[in-house]
């Protein structure tokens, strides 16, 4: 199954309505969707009356998003560390399951807020402890932790980003109004997973070539044990999906914030 197909079914497992209920009305709002993927959330924003600009580094995903031909939406191919000028300031910035790719998130947030209007809002949604599922044997847990440590040290991905969002937003000068965790049928649930969810996890493992390098000949054993763990009746998740909603100060003009700040995809 392709990455695009995986993204489409994963969308059904996320608790997006809970996040939308925590936001003000999106009607006539301008939204910058960072890490927009295949455009499924952009379609939701448009349905709710918003104007959307989606940005992603993956050319195939941007192509898929553009193929939806959404009214009041456009999609740009760009690195999120160096987002080009987009011709307007936004009422809100949305970034879901992308922040963990930026272990130096505060400096990146400073770049992202340059695109917000004074008083604008930012929503970050991110997983914390992706591999936090039990029961696993000590050997499997140790190899997964070694992989996560290597990713953080190399600056590729922070597997513990979720619980850090609030502090990083505040460090970047934003005011956090809400922080909460979200249920998730794929990432944060107790009891046995559906076969479709297990298949999604299998696809995720097969894309993680660097995890294969860390595990060496034990990779297949680690994958099998993890997938079997998800199927167990006594399975429980330590992983959590965090959502933070924050605003930029309404008293500082956008031009001043631009002058004072400098610019800064599942892990491999």
Q: Among the CATH numbers 3.40.50.150, 3.40.50.9100, 3.20.10.10, 3.40.50.300, which is that of 3-251? A: 3.40.50.150
Q: Is residue 71 classed as helix, strand or coil in its secondary structure?
A: coil
- What are the angstrom distances between the C-alpha of 246 and each of 113, 153, 179, 250? 11, 28, 9, 12
Taking only the tens place, the pLDDT of each residue in 146-191 is: 999 999 999 999 999 999 999 999 999 999 999 999 999 999 999 9
Band the pLDDT of 253: cuts 50, 70, 90. very low
Per-residue pLDDT, 8: 87
CA nearest to 174, candidates 258, 249, 69: 249
Q: What is the pLDDT of residue 52?
A: 98
Q: Cα separation of 6 and 196, whole Å?
A: 10
Provide the pLDDT for residue 69: 96
Sheet holding 240-247, edge to edge: 73-77, 51-56, 30-34, 90-96, 116-128, 240-247, 175-182
The residue ranges of every structural domain in the chain are 3-251
3-class secondary structure, 39: coil
Lowest mean pLDDT among 21-30, 43-52, 71-80, 81-90: 81-90
What's the rounded Cα separation, in Å, for the pair 160 and 128? 5
Tokens 């914390």 locate to: 128
**The pLDDT of residue 250:** 61
Per residue in 39-67, pLDDT tens? 999 999 999 999 999 999 999 999 999 99
Distance CA 112, CA 154 (A): 23
Cα separation of 218 and 144, whole Å?
11
Confidence of residue 1 (pLDDT cuts 50, 70, 90): low
């Amino acid at each position: 199954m392709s990455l695009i197909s995986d993204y489409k079914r994963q969308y059904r497992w996320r608790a997006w309505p809970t996040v939308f209920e925590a936001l003000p009305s999106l009607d006539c709002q301008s939204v910058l969707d960072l890490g927009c993927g295949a455009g499924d959330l952009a379609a939701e924003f448009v349905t709710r009356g918003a104007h959307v600009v989606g940005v992603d580094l993956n050319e195939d995903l941007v192509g898929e998003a553009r193929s939806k031909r959404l009214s009041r939406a456009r999609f740009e191919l760009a690195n999120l560390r160096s987002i080009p000028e987009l011709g307007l300031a936004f009422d809100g910035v949305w970034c879901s399951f992308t922040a963990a790719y930026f272990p130096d998130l505060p400096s990146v947030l400073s770049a992202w807020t340059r695109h917000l209007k004074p008083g604008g809002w930012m929503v970050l949604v991110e997983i914390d402890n992706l591999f936090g599922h039990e029961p696993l044997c000590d050997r499997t847990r140790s190899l997964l932790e070694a992989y996560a440590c290597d990713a953080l040290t190399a600056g590729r991905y922070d597997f513990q980003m979720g619980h850090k969002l609030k502090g990083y937003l505040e460090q970047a000068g934003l005011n956090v109004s809400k922080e909460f965790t979200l249920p998730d049928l794929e990432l944060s649930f107790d009891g046995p997973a559906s076969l479709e969810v297990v298949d999604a996890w299998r696809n995720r493992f097969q894309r993680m070539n660097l995890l294969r390098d860390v595990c060496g000949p034990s990779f297949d054993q680690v994958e099998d044990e993890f997938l079997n763990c998800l199927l167990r009746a006594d399975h429980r998740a330590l992983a959590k999906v965090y959502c933070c909603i924050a605003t930029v100060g309404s008293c500082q003009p956008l031009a001043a914030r631009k002058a004072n700040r400098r610019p800064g995809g599942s892990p491999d």
